[in-house]
A and B are shown apart, each in its own frame.
Chain A
């Protein structure tokens, strides 16, 4: 079964509104999670590192005020796209390193499609 789960899998929102995407680690704690975005037929681009209990670390060129990341618990990180615009439409994916018992593998969520209309 899924080790990292995202919700919602698809969301449509109106331009100017905000939308929240959740990323949960199942059955294990993740002090660090990662958020990626992926445009059609392109590779994953790392957006930010989500740190439990502290501020996220954003990659160069990613607007921290637009992509709010909150990692309030050891199993949940949220990405909020604020004042969304059509150009924010993309596939958003999170990841976390699994527990030692699962080979220390990095697991990815199922992804969340965001469409801004």
Chain B
């Protein structure tokens, strides 16, 4: 399972776009990149998943460069409720579901 590196914390203000970058230099050919969000005292919640280029859903976008050694989660126009810990994970899609979590990025959104 590829190791990931993210900033420990980030601050933002309401209404701004937030970009969180994750480094995964040892990503394998068949690995997918998945981002989760976790609020205090709750289990992680799936945000988005991608393999290459760009993926967008109703809550976020995921940008993955051609070499796939990093990825960037983009949250448009954040609100106070987006204050949470964000985890970037790399794993083989279709595996049993075993995930190894890194430290995550604590995003603090200020009014």
Distance between B4 CB and nearest chain A CB, rounded to angstroms? 11
Closest chain B CB from A92 CB (angstroms) = 10
Q: Is the interface of B mostly helix, strand, loop or mixed?
A: loop
Chain B minimum-CB-distance residue to A45? B101
Q: Are B46 and A46 in contact (CB under 8 A)?
A: no
Interface size of A by Cβ–Cβ distance < 8 Å?
26
Asked if A108 and B44 make an inter-chain contact with CB atoms under 8 angstroms apart, the answer reads yes
Tell me if A49 and B98 are in contact (CB < 8 A). yes
**Overall SS of chain A's interface:** strand
Contact between B101 and A95, CB atoms less than 8 A apart: no
Residues of B within 8 A of A (CB): 34, 36, 41-46, 49, 87, 93-94, 96-104
Which of A61-69, A78-86, A109-117 sits within the interface?
A: A109-117
Is the pair B97, A106 in contact by a Cβ cutoff of 8 Å?
yes
List CB contacts (< 8 Å) of A81-102 with chain B: 91, 93, 95-97
Pairwise interchain contact A46-B97, C-beta atoms closer than 8 A:
no
Taking CB atoms, residues of chain B closer than 8 Å to A32 are 96-97
Distance of A94 Cα from B24 Cα, bound (Å): 25
The answer on a CB contact under 8 Å between A49 and B99 is: no
Determine if B99 and A105 form an interchain contact, defined as CB atoms under 8 angstroms apart: no
Q: Check: A104 CB closer than 8 A to any chain B CB.
A: yes
A107: CB under 8 A from chain B?
yes
